[in-house]
Structure 1
Amino acid sequence: MLSRILPVLALSVLATIGALAQPLPYHADPSAREILPNLTPVPAIRFLTTADFPPFNFRDGTGELIGFHIDLARRICAKVDVGCTVQAWPWEQATSALVDNQGDALIAGLALTPENGEQFDFSAIYLALPGRFVTRSADVAGFSPDRLGGKSVAVRTGSSHAEFLARYLPNVTVTGFATEIEALAAVEANTADAYFGDAMRASFWLNDNLGCCGFAGEPYFRPDLFGEGLAIAVPAGHDAVRHAIDWALVKLKEDGSLDELYLRWFPVGFY
């Protein structure tokens, strides 16, 4: 069974630059700038996505397909200077559509698992998914993970973030919750000193709770625990399309377009 990296989130998206947003780290391989795409076999890129994964790919009130992934796909095509289409499929059919040559690339949060790697090749990472601490606003400035000994940290039970705490911060008092929302609410209610979990999901919660809490400390990138991040899938062996996408990602980072899209769709930056 193919799985998504993230569950569908019911949220309202502010497509504006937020005061707390931060630029992206550089995830693309800098050497890819030297890989000039051979455009002869890539007259166009047909992107497949879904319509139920806000703020990445979803439909607005008028039914138009919008989101971070939609904008990114179109920027990639513009940078490579090829034709571009973006078509939405139900999630359970999207990977089959790519296998059946209904599209050239899937930009929908497909997990970089060994099973998926048997069917697809992946572009460079364009968005990593770190773990981060959240505390009440008054505690953000003086936060240090070294000072958490004996304090309570809320986390989703059974998550990779709970494993991170057990592995690297065994002296903290871990309080498990069924969901990230419940764990974050415990910090807001002052029944937990901090929260640790997926930074992107926490950013959506913080967007609605700016007066309460904020990110504290640095982001933690642990691919072995939190996943490699987000990449674009192409059918295995379709190197021309993959190289064109990788080249475009490097160029979009260099000219600031990738950061601009991040700031537009994530008002509370999670880096």
Structure 2
Amino acid sequence: MAGILALAPPALAQSLPYHADPDAREMLPSLTPIPAIRFLTTTDFPPFNYRDQSGELVGFNIDLARRICAEVNVACTIQAWPWDQAANALSDSQGDALIAGLAMTDENGELFDYSSTYLALPGRFVTRADALDGFRPEALAGERVAVRSGSAHEAFLERYLPDVERVGFASEIEGLNAVQSGAVAAWFGDAMRASFWLNENPDCCGFAGEAYFRPHLFGQGLTIAVPAGHDPVRHAIDWALVRLKENGALDELYLRWFPVGFY
């Protein structure tokens, strides 16, 4: 994945994410309780956290964790765990924070607190390049629109665009390939996944219209989990996220890892 990303030109005109709570800038962290932040992660979530061909732990989350520690000026360790053990390791105090896309479910909420969202995952339409100009979702009434079967994005179309003809596919890639072949007029789904497909098919298609942020359907986005009650660590992370946005480091990471932006 890293090799593919390196070949893509930077998308300097992208819309850039900003989700950190600006009030966190006032919560200057007390560094006494946290001489270090022990981050836990996994190796199965590219491009966020995975091992490259040399076995090194890399990804957007890995770079972000290191930037957070540098901003707070504390020592930093990052340890990889299998996905099915990572949350238990955090609850057993084998780490201070888990940066691996742990969902904000009711069950997890009993064990963990969460940082501010640092990257939301919106839904977006993709069409062929010749249909991008003047795109209007309402004009898709009666048209075939690809979507992953049983997904929250299918529920979105059913609720907000009931007049489109939804065409279900088993995966996002199958639906996007249907746009490329002309079998459907558009695709709607997870914009982050689509961004990597578009990176490999730059002349075919593109994002059409706006990004749709619907937390009740698409989730709260990516956050960092900490053991419940560990407020010094959580406050330090939130404070660092605001600072990283203000000094441009968060934007730099986004442009590096997502050359085809999905906002």
TM-score, normalising length from structure 1?
0.94
Q: Distance in 2 between matches of 1:156 and 1:111?
A: 20
Alpha-carbon deviation of 1:23? Answer: 4.0
1:136–1:194 Cα contact (<8 Å) kept: yes
Q: Specify whether residues 192 and 20 from structure 1 end up closer, same or farther in structure 2 by C-alpha distance, changes over 3 A only.
A: farther
Q: Distance in 1 between matches of 2:82 and 2:90?
A: 12
* Structure 1 counterpart of 2:208: 216
* Structure 1 counterpart of 2:124: 132
Q: Does 1:14 align with 2:5?
A: yes
How is 1:247-262 mapped onto 2 (pairs within 5 angstroms)? 247-262=239-254
SS at match of 1:14: helix
Q: Distance in 1 between matches of 2:42 and 2:218?
A: 23
Q: Specify whether residues 138 and 20 from structure 1 end up closer, same or farther in structure 2 by C-alpha distance, changes over 3 A only.
A: farther
Q: Distance in 2 between matches of 1:225 and 1:12?
A: 33
Q: 1:125-144: per-residue Cα shift (whole Å, max 9, x none)? A: 00000000000011111211
Structure 2: gaps spanning 5 or more residues: none
SS at match of 1:129: coil
Q: Distance in 1 between matches of 2:74 and 2:42?
A: 22
Match 2:87 to one of 89, 92, 95: 95
Match 1:28 to one of 10, 20, 38: 20
2:34–2:232 Cα contact (<8 Å) kept: yes
Alpha-carbon deviation of 1:62? Answer: 1.1
2:8–2:199 Cα contact (<8 Å) kept: no
Q: Does 1:232 align with 2:209?
A: no
Q: Distance in 1 between matches of 2:4 and 2:103?
A: 23
* Structure 2 counterpart of 1:141: 133
Q: Does 1:165 align with 2:127?
A: no
Q: Does 1:106 align with 2:98?
A: yes
AA matched with 2:261: G
Q: Distance in 2 between matches of 1:43 and 1:192?
A: 55
SS at match of 2:5: coil
Q: Does 1:204 align with 2:196?
A: yes
* Structure 1 counterpart of 2:235: 243
Structure with higher helix content: 2
SS at match of 1:109: coil
Q: Does 1:48 align with 2:48?
A: no
Q: Distance in 2 between matches of 1:142 and 1:92?
A: 45
Q: 1:86-123: per-residue Cα shift (whole Å, max 9, x none)? A: 11111111111111111100000111111111110000
Q: Distance in 2 between matches of 1:72 and 1:52?
A: 17
Q: Distance in 2 between matches of 1:249 and 1:57?
A: 18
Q: 1:138-192: per-residue Cα shift (whole Å, max 9, x none)? A: 1111211121111111001111000000100011111111111111111001010
Q: Specify whether residues 103 and 78 from structure 1 end up closer, same or farther in structure 2 by C-alpha distance, changes over 3 A only.
A: same
* Structure 1 counterpart of 2:262: 270
2:11–2:255 Cα contact (<8 Å) kept: no
* Structure 1 counterpart of 2:71: 79
1:37–1:247 Cα contact (<8 Å) kept: yes
Alpha-carbon deviation of 1:19? Answer: 3.8
1:11–1:204 Cα contact (<8 Å) kept: no
Identity of aligned residues (%): 71
* Structure 2 counterpart of 1:64: 56
Supply the RMSD in Å over aligned alpha carbons.
Answer: 1.4
Q: How many residues in Structure 1 have an aligned counterpart in Structure 2?
A: 262
AA matched with 2:195: S
Q: Specify whether residues 222 and 143 from structure 1 end up closer, same or farther in structure 2 by C-alpha distance, changes over 3 A only.
A: same
AA matched with 1:136: R
* Structure 2 counterpart of 1:7: none
* Structure 1 counterpart of 2:172: 180
Q: 1:197-254: per-residue Cα shift (whole Å, max 9, x none)? A: 0000111111111111100000000000000000000000000000000000000000
* Structure 2 counterpart of 1:6: none
Q: Specify whether residues 114 and 15 from structure 1 end up closer, same or farther in structure 2 by C-alpha distance, changes over 3 A only.
A: farther
Q: Distance in 2 between matches of 1:200 and 1:81?
A: 31
Alpha-carbon deviation of 1:14? Answer: 1.2
1:17–1:266 Cα contact (<8 Å) kept: no
2:117–2:223 Cα contact (<8 Å) kept: yes
